[in-house]
Chain A
Amino acid sequence: MKRVLGNKQNRKTISLLLITVVLAVIIGSFNPDKFFTAQNFQSMTRQLAEIGIYALAMFVIVVSGGLNLSIVAVANLAAICGGSVMQGLILGDVIVSPLARLLVGLLVAVVIGVLSGVLNGYFVAGLGLTAVLVTSATSQLFQGLALVITKGNAIVGAPEAISALGTHNLLGIPYLLLLALGCYIVAEFVFEKTAFGAQCRLLGANATANQYSGNSNYKTLMKSYMLSGFFSAIGGIVSYSRMCALRSDYGNSLTSTAMLVVLMGGAWVVAGGGKVMNIFISLFCIQIISSGLTLSGTSNFTRNTIWGALLIAILLAATPAIQQRLSRLKGLARRRAPNKGNAA
């Protein structure tokens, strides 16, 4: 037990868990009959799945030291292309059976996601441009492309399988939560077990040293942008399943929420670090706050302000100046309660 607690990363996980539970209790106690219901749990986790997958798409890039602002645009583009195939708007004459349309549509969405990653990766890794500039430009590009395809309108309707994904449960657990869980398990596997994950982390820690260690930054970055595009596409399908409609400008605010989750999970602060597990827990944390706000009927303005303030607060809390002050406070508290100090 002592060993588990002693590890710094584990300590972070545990404190995140604690914060989440405490938050759930506090926010739940305001509105217990609405908050602690199966229905609320299901609607919460569906929303969580969406944000969570976007957060993963962001995490993949943040680990390697960049930032991806094009996630939501890629997601919408992928969903629009995939969804159009599913509904027979594209290639409707060639692919007739609904099942074939569904499968081809999913494939198209994923391929679009990965291809968009290739484009981002080419500019960032191949030409060495700043990730923020490139992805904010490609974000426009992809959103523009989506607009061109939809001609500025929403495409309403979805195949049954997709709408079922967004509304049905398996033993009371929404399919979407299971899907998100699956994505997180994949990410956990990639970043904890595989060579690609290890190289991503080294690249994020020091890109120059990684190159001088005989690892190819180009290949690693390219793969990570492709993986980010892949997760974005899945995020797009999740959004589609929840809305049963396709729009080019859907969910623009989700980028900052995704960043908030990743930041809270600690990936941003430790260059090349951050555990997938911590991202997953902070996802719940953010979602509980978000649901609490929705239940108490606050406006988007309040929510945005709180997100912004949280973002800045977490950023500041990780800076050395504040860290020092915090540890001094901790030291004071420990001196006042010597018994507790010895135990730790």
Chain B
Amino acid sequence: MSEYFLEIRGVSKSFQAVRALDQVDLRVKPGESKCLAGENGCGKSTLIKIISGVYTPDCGEIVIKGKSYTSLTPTQSIAAGIQVIYQDFSLFPNLTVAENIAMEYNLFHKKRTVSKKRDRELAKRVVDEIGVPLDLDAEVKSLSVGEKQVVAICRALLLEAELIIMDEPTTALTAKEVAALYKIIEGLKARGIALIFVSHKLDEVLKVAESLCILRDGKNVIDGPKEDFDKAKISYYMTGRDVVFTPFQPKELGETIFQAEGLRLAGTFSDISFSLRRGEVLGITGLLGSGRTELAEAIFGLRPLDGGKLTLFGEELHLKGGDSAVNAGIGYLPEDRLTQGLFLNVEIERNISAGIIRKFSQNPLGIIDKAGLHREVAAQVEALQIKLGDLQDPVSSLSGGNQQRVVLAKWLAIGPKVLLLNCPTVGVDVGSKQNIHETIKTLAGEGIGMIVISDDLPEILSVCSRVLVMNKGRFTGEYGACDLDEETLQGMLAKA
């Protein structure tokens, strides 16, 4: 029997013309924790789906505990002790914790009847093993994200998992929850359970992973113990080029554009005050759940504030809904491009013009000046160098970077005075990322007040001239970008 629990040898998989995986190898020992890293679209999720039996590989071999398979079915995969915890946890919000934990076990063991008592006993056993207090009778929808993850882990353990694959395990967790997760993971490793983390956030995962496997464009790039890597190296392997981020130093600071005083939203954030001066890029960073997104949405008028004052060029704003924010000259590039930022099946032109329909229809009947609208759209496409075939193609035909530029174009078209960018480069390739960063700096130079909200620390450090750290709904620190490095900022974030 081999020393590895799972060995993948030369697996390839193509979708129509696209080769998603090309002769990929991966090995995990029992009790080992491995990080599978790579940029978006590098083939990570395809590989996971092959291991969990969702996809059938075109060629190659999967060896589990010395037994070789050419492909797996989902049932075989579970029977072999492989459990995947997806980013959304795949839980049922309307069922109790106990039932969620026991459901897959019951199904796998072909139980036809259900007993609440049995479910509770099964669930209690694994929950006690992990040592995290959970209310077994609570409905899952009332749990926090961290608790949901624990439920998903318990479910995997109940099925006697020997390999747990976790997809982006720390993205949605607060610092405290991440610490709790690390503790659980140590316990799992001690029991001889192998772990694979799929991630592009290396700082957090590097803490627990013993070895790294990096994929790029569907190919193995490198595989080795953690000690062989440093951050620059990993970034190089993931992207295939050296990426240098230089901190942003505004040439000169002008007058105050935008000011927030004592903003408050019950249960989310309070006592938020800051001001934004002409020429600078203000960064706001915090973990998920720190209230950073809610703050941005409140400034954009989507969440009615419970208190505080917003002023733009000395005039007080009273925002009711995004339309009033746009009228005042505030734009907001949302976090989730695919559902919030874009109308995916709609033409590029209509996507870019979504925010300026009102501006180009200022007459009693609301008739749109189509020619004017088209000129504006074309000008923005030109200015942002969006690569596209035809303005009438659906926006879903574009690459991630170009899609994000379409959203940016939508906001630049309104002629914003202040532009809030929430995670502006999620799911964007490195080239476009640098390009978007340059654009942000240029726009700041042109006098638009730029606020970048992000948890991507290198991004914050390279585009912002001033950084505000947000923790549990409050600002806990303000720094000039030059006085910061990633380690200190990381420390600031995690300080709960």
B-contacting residues of A (Cβ < 8 Å)? 193-196, 198-199, 201-202, 205-206, 208-216, 218-219, 270-272
Contact = CB atoms under 8 A, between A and B. Distances in A.
A30 B407 CA distance: 56
Given A194-B361, A213-B354, A215-B354, 6 more contacts: A196-B366, A199-B357, A202-B354, A206-B342, A214-B332, A215-B323
Contacts of A198: 350, 357, 368
Interface string B176-189: 00000000000000
Nearest to A190: B366
Interface in B331-376: 331-332, 334, 339-346, 350, 354-355, 357-358, 360-361, 365-368
Nearest to A218: B321
The 3 A-B residue pairs with the shortest CB-CB distance in the complex, in nearest-first order: A214-B326, A195-B361, A214-B322
A209 B339 contact: yes
B317 interface: no
Contacts of B300: 214
Given A194-B367, A215-B323, A210 B354 contact: yes
B127 interface: no
Contacts of B59: none
Contacts of A195: 357-358, 360-361, 366-368
B340 A208 contact: yes
Contacts, number: 78
B460 interface: no
Contacts of A211: 302, 322
A216 B342 contact: no
Nearest to B368: A195
Nearest to B365: A194
A193 B367 contact: yes
B275 to A, nearest CB: 23
B302 A271 contact: no
B410 interface: yes
B414 interface: yes
Name the residue in A194, A201, A214 with the highest tally of chain B Cβ atoms < 10 Å from its Cβ.
Answer: A214
Contacts of A205: 343, 345-346
12 contacts: A195-B357, A195-B361, A195-B368, A198-B350, A198-B368, A206-B346, A214-B331, A214-B355, A216-B323, A218-B321, A219-B323, A271-B345
Contacts of A206: 339, 342-344, 346
A214 B344 contact: no
B344 to A, nearest CB: 7
A68 B331 CA distance: 34
Given A195-B358, A215-B323, A202 B350 contact: yes
Nearest to A209: B343
B346 A202 contact: yes
Contacts of B358: 195, 215
Interface residues of B, number: 31
Interface in B399-429: 410, 414
A211 B339 CA distance: 11
A214 B324 CA distance: 8
Interface of B: 300, 302, 321-323, 325-326, 331-332, 334, 339-346, 350, 354-355, 357-358, 360-361, 365-368, 410, 414
Contacts of B368: 193-195, 198
Contacts of A201: 350
A213 B322 contact: yes
A183 B48 CA distance: 55
A270 B350 CA distance: 15
A214 B325 contact: yes
B403 to A, nearest CB: 12
A122 to B, nearest CB: 16
B303 to A, nearest CB: 11
A4 to B, nearest CB: 14
Contacts of A193: 367-368
Given A194-B367, A195-B358, A209-B341, A214 B346 contact: no
A194 B361 CA distance: 7
A206 B361 CA distance: 21
A216 B365 contact: no
A208 B323 CA distance: 13
A3 to B, nearest CB: 12
Name the residue in A194, A206, A209, A218 with the highest tally of chain B Cβ atoms < 10 Å from its Cβ.
Answer: A209
B321 A213 contact: no
Contacts of A196: 366
Contacts of A199: 357
Name the residue in A198, A206, A212 with the highest tally of chain B Cβ atoms < 10 Å from its Cβ.
Answer: A212
Contacts of A202: 343, 346, 350, 354
A214 B357 CA distance: 10
Nearest to A206: B343
A88 B345 CA distance: 53
Contacts of B365: 194
A144 to B, nearest CB: 33
B203 to A, nearest CB: 29
A54 B354 CA distance: 29
B323 A212 contact: no
A196 B361 CA distance: 10
Nearest to B326: A214
A196 B366 CA distance: 7
Contacts of A212: 302, 322, 332, 334, 340-341
Contacts of B332: 212, 214
A214 B414 contact: yes
A215 B354 CA distance: 8
